[in-house]
Amino acid sequence: MKYEPFHNPQVIKNAYFWFMATTETIAATVRSFLIENLYNGQETAELTNDTPLISSRLMDSIVALKLVNYLEENFSIEFEAHEVDQDNLNTIAIISAFVQSKMK
C-alpha cells in the first residue's frame, strides 16, 4: 500500500502545529500534557499559565524530561542539554514563549 502521510493523523497534527503554532496553541498543548501527567487527566483551575511548575515541585525531573520530549516531537524542535532548565520550563507561559522562540 502506498504511504499516504496525510492519512496519518499524527502527521496532520504535526503539520498543523508547524504552520499554526502560536503562543496560545503551544500553551494549550503544554497544558493538556500537564493535566494528563500531573492531574490524572482532570481539569483544574489551579493550573494557570503562570503557576510555577518546577520551583513549586509540581513537576519533578522525570516529568520535565517527558515534557521536553513531548514538545520536541510535537513541534519538531530540539532542546539543547543546557536548555532543559527551570529558566525555560517553570510556567506554561515561559515554556510556550521558549518553544516559539525555538521554532523561528
Partner 1 sequence: MITTLAGYVFQTALQHPEVIAVESAGGDSITYSGLTAAADAWTETLTQRGIGAGSRVALLAPKSIGLIAALLGINRCGATYIPIDPEAPPERIRLLLRDVDPHALIFTPELFPSDIPCQLQEMGAAVSDNLRLALFPGEQHTTETAFILYTSGSTGVPKGVMISTSNALGFINWALQTFSFAAGDRFSSVAPFHFDLSVFDIYVCFASGGTLILPAENTVRNAKAFAAWLAETKITVTYCTPSVLNAMLHFGRPEKYTWTNLRHVFFAGEVFPVKPLHRLMDLWPQAAFHNLYGPTETNVCTWYSIPRPYKQEREQPYPIGRVCKHLQAHISDEGELWIAGENVTPGYFNRPEKNADAFAEHNGKLFYKTGDCVTIDANGNMEYKGRMDRMIKKRGYRIEPGEVEQCLLRHPAIADAAVIAQTDSDGFPLLCAVLVHSGTTAPLLHDIKTWCATHLPPYMIPERIRFLDNLPKNSSGKTDYPQLTAMHL
User: For binding to partner 1 (CB under 8 A), which residues are involved?
Assistant: 38-40, 44, 46, 51-52, 56-58, 60-63, 65-66, 68-69, 79-82, 84-85
Q: Do residues 84 and 78 touch, judged by C-beta distance below 8 A?
A: no
Q: State the nearest-atom distance from the C-beta of 45 to partner 1, in Å.
A: 9
Q: State the nearest-atom distance from the C-beta of 70 to partner 1, in Å.
A: 10
Cβ-based nearer residue to partner 1, 38 or 95? 38
Cβ-based nearer residue to partner 1, 84 or 93? 84
Q: State the nearest-atom distance from the C-beta of 8 to partner 1, in Å.
A: 23
Residue with cell 530540539: 78
